[in-house]
Structure 1
Amino acid sequence: MQNKKSHPSALNEKAGIAPPETTSLTSIGTIQHFRKIQPSATALVEGILAGNITALSRAITLVESTNNNHLSKANEVINACLPHSGKSMRIGITGVPGVGKSTFIEAFGKFLTNQGKKVAVLAVDPSSTISHGSILGDKTRMEELVKDKNAYIRPSASGETLGGVARKTRETITLCEACGFDTIIIETVGVGQSETAVHSMVDFFLLLKIAGAGDELQGIKRGIMEMADAIVINKADGDNIKKAQFAKMEFNRALHLFPAKKSGWIPKTSTCSAITQEGIPVVWEIIQKFLALTKENQSFFEKRKEQNQYWMLETINEQLKINFYNQHEIQNLLEPTKKAVQNNEISPFAAAQKLLNLYQNSKNNQQNMD
């Protein structure tokens, strides 16, 4: 029996001309070189004041850095930008997961840019308590707004900060305002009593709700409801319109249970659909009325003064914590002390006092050496 001639597989590729390199190695090297160059604080400030988005993004990254070596440079940038800030409308937006915050913000942001506004969205994404990672997918969810030349979206990880507010969100607001953005929107990770952190850095606090999800019962609860300047029932479209109108009435009744606001503003309720754009202009009208009232009776400016003081104290607390954990002696003793607490060899309170005493003694020794 004759052996059949073996034929090469049709899947084999014939030798031919190699395709050209699609990426220039020279270009890659140039890009990497420029990325390594850190611009000076003066260069960053000049870029921000000129409306350069790249300079703004690099400055925000610098401000968010936990590296102590970046602190003085970040402070220099913030202080230089401070005189050029404070002229925006700061809006905080919160709501339970699934309420449609990102969709609403995109529709609202597009409405504002069409009105000639420059909008910066500071979206705070939740960080995992296990891996400490964060998806930072807001630019993907707001695919229309991200392409708008008058909009800027900056996602940040919440980390361990109270209320899901990024550690340096307050400073980021200052940088965005100096860059020319007149409307700052802060999207939080969700609803909770700790949302006071957001409330303490915005002028107007908007609470998004949805109908038919038991939210009507939440209306009589204190905390988040007391902070809201407006309640907007989202997804008021299709078969959900009647439910949204009913929810609006329920929230109106609930708002009468709360004491009047110091500013004299009476919180409003409204319905909207981020999909059909229905009701979006009404939300802006509510905010405009709030601005007119609070600026006329000066409560707008008084609130900002109180917020500045609050964030000074918060910054002191945070910096003390950073200094404590970055001290060499504390780092060496922290893990053994944790194990001693776990094994009931020392009480948590005594252990904490021991570490605090060590920190204070170390600081005193350092001062004596200086």
Structure 2
Amino acid sequence: MDIAQLSDRILNADRRALARAITLVESARADHRAQADELLSSLNKSGRQALRIGMSGTPGVGKSTFIETFGMMLVGKGLRVAVLAVDPSSARSGGSILGDKTRMERLSREPAAFIRPSPSQTHLGGVARRTRDAVALCEAAGYDVVLIETVGVGQSETVVSELSDLFMLLLAPAGGDELQGVKRGIMEIADMILVNKADGDLKSTATRTCADYAGALRLLRKRPQDPEGFPKALTVSAVEATGLDTAWAEIQALAEWRRQSGHWDRNRAAQAQYWFAEEVRQALLARLDTPWAKSRMTELSAEVAKGVQTPQAAARDLLTGLGVTNR
């Protein structure tokens, strides 16, 4: 693969080249990883930035419908939009449905839009391991807004905050106890709560639900990255396309404030450090997948079971064999 040529095509907004590049960075093959690193290093010099918006929501809240309607609105404003949707992988077969292009039929036909579903595989946190690389590729391709849809709502989905500039949480009307399972974790990282399905018979219910969440947000500790009035709750309807302009105006206002206050750059720098540490952790874990490590772990596991070695001593033995100092 000619990496220089692929890089040039991405910089010239070639969607086919972008799709091919994302396939490359998602590959676990050693030769592909080397090519992916070369490609990302080359594109990093472009200095292009997009507004990265992380999105999550409870099952059935209408994330895909909202993203399509919201994306169509942004395209109508002359913006180029990329959607990176992470689908859950089966714990049994390892497969994923990857049906987001089907669910976002109108947006997928837009020349100014790019939709890429990816399997979560075994990676926790609501995003795929290489989602950050895919975001960087979309930025290099000149997309103005990158929407990152997580696999679902939960405390582990807070990882999405490490690759987005803003995080939006979609909720349904009258979901009284739906946050019981997620508690403060996801509420604390949300920059905006959008109560979807504010239409028809649910409109008044959505308004009350929005007021409830607005009150809950006021009880949270003030965050340094928020101007007055944020985080906030709004009502939207993906079906009727209402409330989207207001939500977009609030998103722009928050993003601009963070740029002016310096928080934008500080956040991006902190995220880069986070993903550097994550790459180191993943590389160390990968060393446990080698034939020697698996064989040695089986031997030491048997010794631990028999009481010949303590778990701590056996772990130290394995790490020494891997050339890792246990301190």
CA distance 1:64–1:339, shift in 2 (3 Å): farther
Q: Percent identical across equivalent pairs?
A: 44
C-alpha displacement of 1:328: 3.5
**Matched letter for residue 251 of structure 2:** I
Which has the larger Rg?
A: 1
C-alpha displacement of 1:103: 0.7
Alpha-carbon distance between aligned partners in 2 of 1:311 and 1:77, rounded to the nearest angstrom = 17
Relative CO higher for 1 or 2, CA cutoff 8 Å, sep ≥ 6?
A: 2
Check if 1:227 corresponds to 2:182: no
1:301 corresponds in structure 2 to 265
1:274 corresponds in structure 2 to 238
2:135 corresponds in structure 1 to 173
1:198 corresponds in structure 2 to 160
Structure 1: stretches of 5+ with no match in the other structure: 1-38, 364-370
Aligned length: 323
1:147-168 CA-partner distances (Å, limit 9, x unpaired): 1111101111111222121111
SS of corresponding position for 1:154: strand
Alpha-carbon distance between aligned partners in 2 of 1:231 and 1:127, rounded to the nearest angstrom = 27
Check if 1:250 corresponds to 2:242: no
Structure 2: stretches of 5+ with no match in the other structure: none
Listed as ranges, the matches of 1:1-370 within 5 Å are 39-215=1-177, 218=180, 221-265=183-227, 266-325=230-289, 327-335=290-298, 337=300, 349-360=312-323
1:36 corresponds in structure 2 to none
C-alpha contact 1:207 1:232 (8 A) present in aligned 2: yes
Alpha-carbon distance between aligned partners in 2 of 1:242 and 1:299, rounded to the nearest angstrom = 36
Alpha-carbon distance between aligned partners in 2 of 1:193 and 1:182, rounded to the nearest angstrom = 29
**Matched letter for residue 282 of structure 1:** T
Q: CA RMSD in A?
A: 2.2
Q: How does the TM-score come out when normalised to structure 1?
A: 0.82
CA distance 1:150–1:345, shift in 2 (3 Å): farther
SS of corresponding position for 1:162: coil
Alpha-carbon distance between aligned partners in 1 of 2:164 and 2:197, rounded to the nearest angstrom = 25
SS of corresponding position for 1:90: strand
C-alpha contact 1:209 1:215 (8 A) present in aligned 2: no
Which stretch shifts more, 131-140 or 240-249?
131-140
Q: How does the TM-score come out when normalised to structure 2?
A: 0.92
SS of corresponding position for 2:45: helix
CA distance 1:153–1:343, shift in 2 (3 Å): farther
C-alpha contact 1:211 1:244 (8 A) present in aligned 2: yes
C-alpha displacement of 1:349: 4.5
**Matched letter for residue 99 of structure 2:** G
C-alpha contact 2:154 2:182 (8 A) present in aligned 1: no
Alpha-carbon distance between aligned partners in 2 of 1:180 and 1:264, rounded to the nearest angstrom = 27
C-alpha displacement of 1:322: 1.7
C-alpha displacement of 1:189: 0.7
SS of corresponding position for 1:131: coil
SS of corresponding position for 2:315: helix
1:5 corresponds in structure 2 to none
